[in-house]
Copies of this chain bind each other. A is one copy, B any other.
């Protein structure tokens, strides 16, 4: 295997903490995810990974992505019922999806007050996590309308 990068060391540490192995496929998939943070689907990650490891299989990409999620190094992003996307941004955040170009942007959520605070809940409910996805026109596509 080639020299380990800082990214590799981060991943290797996280993955061994989970009692898992640091394989070249996992390294590749993680690198693909960090390299271009555009919320790719598993199929897109597969396409990019295959250009580096031509023998890699789609099932392995799914497995590696699941491993990344398990290790806490990535999160799944669900937009309607479209194919699952993957996001290496570990901070609490939501997503903005452009209805024209389809691009996905990370958006900030209010830091104080906890998840979902702007919403009125049934009494005595406890919120664990919040999934927020906004649909609309991104700056680029908005500009194109003028």
Contact = CB atoms under 8 A, between A and B. Distances in A.
Interface stretch (A2-10, A17-25, A134-142): A134-142
A116 B116 CA distance: 11
Nearest to A115: B134
Interface in A103-146: 105, 107-110, 115-139, 142-143
A78 interface: yes
9 contacts: A96-B127, A107-B119, A115-B134, A116-B132, A124-B142, A128-B136, A129-B134, A130-B135, A132-B132
Interface of A: 76, 78, 80-81, 84, 94, 96, 99, 105, 107-110, 115-139, 142-143
